[in-house]
Structure 1
Amino acid sequence: MTLEVTLTAEQCWQPVPGGSGTYVVELARGLADVQGVRATALVAAHRGRDAHDGRVAAPVRRAPLPRRLLYPAWNHLRLPRAEWVVRGSDVVHATTWAVPPTARPLVVTVHDLAFLRSPEHFTTHGNAFFIRALDRVRREADLIVVPSQATADDCLAAGLPRDRVRVVPHGVRILPATSDEVAAFRRQHDLRRDYVMWCGTVEPRKNLPVLLEAYAHAAARGLDADLVLVGPRGWGDATTGLGAGEGTAPGVRYLGRLDDVDLHRAYAGARAFCFPSLWEGFGMPVLEAMAHGVPVVTSRGTSMEEIAAGAALLADPHDPEELAEQLLAACGDAHDDLASTALSRSGQFTWSAAAEATAAVYREAAGG
């Protein structure tokens, strides 16, 4: 018997799909290879044929409302039900906080609880949406999927029932880069020295000011490498002076947003990767760097430590001196051993394994 699963996929049609969009795309691709499970993507109404353009590896069904009306209708009117749009659903999986009403078993993925940790980072409207969604998940979800134990702990602290939370780590998929491609990338951006890489959206929780201070300490102690920052400008004090190709201090380069090909060439060319974020639901950049065999320095006591599991150097993200010490080690004597252990550890995270584990959650929800 085939289990029919409705998978919300509207995130893939957002202007910036982000990590949640990647999750939906990769999960749908993985589920296509899981025997006994058939996924159908549920999205909002879109004009023309754009809801069938191959963004997800699943048949697509469109709700009768556009996103700006669909989400409020789901939250306030409790209409339309997911199974009215996708006939024959056995399980409904809300892959983000946009949770459709349903009489079928409901699985919800909670990527993080950022809005509870730092409500000032979100609009009043956004916080209201997330809080209402959290309340619905607490009351309605049969099972809750989280990407890390750190996020599971946050969920328990927020009152979600322990017996309904299931940890399913994400997988990782990289674009391999040849030495010639890396050399071309370095020439394009005039990267003449070794470099330590960071990537992400520039915002306070990413902790860039401490990274810049740590880099200055390490450079003063003999680190012969640039610091290369990659990612879109977000908000906060750390964005000051960051223009594409412009450094905030000697040796610091800000490349801005890169496309996927150049992003992975940047990873592949890095001497080390430093990601001292204060918290993450999962921390995909750490895993991507490790999958390229790049030594990683990241934050102690976070989901990134959980992911690295001994394959990265850890530091207190509030302590620039300790970060500097670990940067020197990652670029120096510890480099080769770290590169090897990082590559080995990253191999344990695949999207096929994530899809199989998620399918097991579907079966559990349906059986319950």
Structure 2
Amino acid sequence: MNIYVNARFLTQTVTGVQRYAIELIKQWDQLLEEEPDDRRFYSITLLSPPGAIHELDLKHIKVRRVGSFGGHAWEQLILPYYARKGLLINLCNTGPIWKRKQIATMHDTAVFDHPEAYSFLFRSLYRFIQKSLGKRAQRVLTVSQFSKSRLIANCRIKEDKIRVVSLGMEHMQKLDSDREMLSLHELVSKGYVLAVSSMNPTKNFPNIVRAIEMLNEVDYQIVIAGGTNGKVFGTANVPHSDKLKWVGYVTDPQLKALYDGAACFIFPSTYEGFGLPPLEAMTCGAPVIVSRSASLPEVCGEATLYCDPIDPRDIAEKIDQVMASSELRQSLRLKGLRRAAQFSWNKCAKETWEAVKEVVHT
């Protein structure tokens, strides 16, 4: 049985969606190592456009670069041709709208729920693709019960067609911290509040800065790590603050160092399909504050302190609580470690692989 994977993600900068695809494929390769019967029955090939920036060390999964251009045009025109003799797996929200034999992972429907956060062209294209793909795909995977409910509401996908599979966290455990990151930006270990993600306006970074400005006589900084893409997102309008250190896009080892050194991780996002950064922070032992919005309570459970994302004063109060109490920080740290241990890329891969087999055998 030929199984093809839409590997356009190999050409993209890593955010949560690409992280999911990369870790899933690596785990699938390991599952094939452990299951010789599956190796004999299934042939898995990653189909990638030119210009890949990621190389995966795979033993049983092939990588094939096809076509002479990339982007959405490659996905709609080139990919379905090379995947025509098998089942196509799409892992990153989009896929060819006319291919019948395919599975799609859709992480969220933010372009429907928060159109103001995206450029007109981006949201229009994604709305069309997601609705079409939701109807065409034989199975739709998503990452939380919250996202499942929004896919049903926005894309009119039948409930029994959707399977929820949570993400994992082992990628953070395997990393070595690049602690030069802390020295480079003059960060004192355990002495800063950290926020991590893209500059999507739904991440609510402006209210983090406003909250910090409301705190009196603090001796710590707020560090924001992550990039922005004006072609995709609207303007985040982050206000200026002398207490803010903007470190931009960071490598995985640098990110691990930032998590390890943080006294508190703040994530007052207003919309998340899953919310990988809080899980990563908990995995690294950082005390976490999140908003009680979208999928975040589903992922974080009782292991975090919750804030009102639209009220900077409440965010400030929660930061003050955590930073003022070493006992609270230690309690949140231990709860976070226990909660994070419930998530696994291995489990994610096995559940996803079972969904693939179901489609193959129907």
Contact map agreement 2:199 2:229 (CA 8 A) in 1: yes
CA 65–292 in structure 1, closer or farther in 2 if over 3 Å, else same: same
Q: Secondary structure at the match of 2:27?
A: helix
Q: Secondary structure at the match of 1:254?
A: strand
- What is the alpha-carbon distance in structure 2 between the residues aligned to residue 45 and residue 208 of structure 1? 34
- What is the alpha-carbon distance in structure 2 between the residues aligned to residue 208 and residue 305 of structure 1? 19
- What is the alpha-carbon distance in structure 2 between the residues aligned to residue 199 and residue 211 of structure 1? 11
Q: Secondary structure at the match of 1:80?
A: helix
- What is the alpha-carbon distance in structure 2 between the residues aligned to residue 93 and residue 177 of structure 1? 28
Q: Secondary structure at the match of 1:334?
A: helix
1:232 match: 227
Contact map agreement 1:298 1:313 (CA 8 A) in 2: yes
How many residues are treated as equivalent by the alignment? 344
1:245 match: none
> Is 1:352 matched with 2:349?
no
- What is the alpha-carbon distance in structure 1 between the residues aligned to residue 193 and residue 263 of structure 2? 6
What are the residue-to-residue correspondences of 1:235-274 with 2, within 5 Å? Answer: 238-239=236-237, 248-274=240-266
- What is the alpha-carbon distance in structure 2 between the residues aligned to residue 165 and residue 30 of structure 1? 22
Contact map agreement 2:274 2:296 (CA 8 A) in 1: yes
Give 1:346's aligned amino acid. Answer: A
Deviation at 1:55, TM superposition (A): 6.8
2:201 match: 204
CA 302–128 in structure 1, closer or farther in 2 if over 3 Å, else same: closer
Q: What is the percentage of aligned positions where both structures have the same residue?
A: 25
- What is the alpha-carbon distance in structure 1 between the residues aligned to residue 43 and residue 213 of structure 2? 50
Structure 1, unmatched stretches of 5+, are: 242-247
Counterpart selection for 1:170 from 167, 175, 192: 167
Contact map agreement 2:11 2:49 (CA 8 A) in 1: no
Give 2:111's aligned amino acid. Answer: F
2:6 match: 8
- What is the alpha-carbon distance in structure 2 between the residues aligned to residue 17 and residue 227 of structure 1? 23
CA 318–121 in structure 1, closer or farther in 2 if over 3 Å, else same: closer
Give a deviation string over 1:18-66, Cα, whole Å, max 9, x none.
Answer: 332222211110111223264623434438xx69954766202344453
Give 2:225's aligned amino acid. Answer: V
Normalising by structure 1, report the TM-score: 0.84
> Is 1:327 matched with 2:355?
no
Deviation at 1:126, TM superposition (A): 2.7
Q: Secondary structure at the match of 2:5?
A: strand
- What is the alpha-carbon distance in structure 2 between the residues aligned to residue 168 and residue 354 of structure 1? 6
Structure 2, unmatched stretches of 5+, are: none
Contact map agreement 1:226 1:251 (CA 8 A) in 2: yes
Greater mean alpha carbon deviation, residues 325-334 or residues 65-74: 65-74
- What is the alpha-carbon distance in structure 1 between the residues aligned to residue 226 and residue 210 of structure 2? 19
Contact map agreement 1:177 1:268 (CA 8 A) in 2: no
- What is the alpha-carbon distance in structure 2 between the residues aligned to residue 52 and residue 216 of structure 1? 39
CA 338–240 in structure 1, closer or farther in 2 if over 3 Å, else same: closer
- What is the alpha-carbon distance in structure 2 between the residues aligned to residue 291 and residue 39 of structure 1? 34
Contact map agreement 2:263 2:287 (CA 8 A) in 1: yes
1:83 match: 84
- What is the alpha-carbon distance in structure 1 between the residues aligned to residue 68 and residue 235 of structure 2? 39
Contact map agreement 1:44 1:65 (CA 8 A) in 2: no
> Is 1:343 matched with 2:337?
yes
- What is the alpha-carbon distance in structure 2 between the residues aligned to residue 139 and residue 178 of structure 1? 43
2:111 match: 115
CA 112–197 in structure 1, closer or farther in 2 if over 3 Å, else same: same
2:45 match: 41
CA 268–82 in structure 1, closer or farther in 2 if over 3 Å, else same: same
CA 208–165 in structure 1, closer or farther in 2 if over 3 Å, else same: same
1:59 match: 62
CA 132–178 in structure 1, closer or farther in 2 if over 3 Å, else same: closer
- What is the alpha-carbon distance in structure 2 between the residues aligned to residue 228 and residue 359 of structure 1? 38
Contact map agreement 1:81 1:102 (CA 8 A) in 2: no
- What is the alpha-carbon distance in structure 2 between the residues aligned to residue 257 and residue 64 of structure 1? 30
> Is 1:151 matched with 2:147?
yes
Give a deviation string over 1:164-214, Cα, whole Å, max 9, x none.
Answer: 1111011121156789x64x4332211247111001122321111211122
Counterpart selection for 1:138 from 118, 134, 138: 134
- What is the alpha-carbon distance in structure 1 between the residues aligned to residue 100 and residue 152 of structure 2? 25
Give a deviation string over 1:52-87, Cα, whole Å, max 9, x none.
Answer: 95476620234445325423427xxx9526134xxx
Counterpart selection for 1:70 from 68, 74, 95: 74
CA 65–56 in structure 1, closer or farther in 2 if over 3 Å, else same: farther
CA 302–52 in structure 1, closer or farther in 2 if over 3 Å, else same: closer
1:290 match: 282
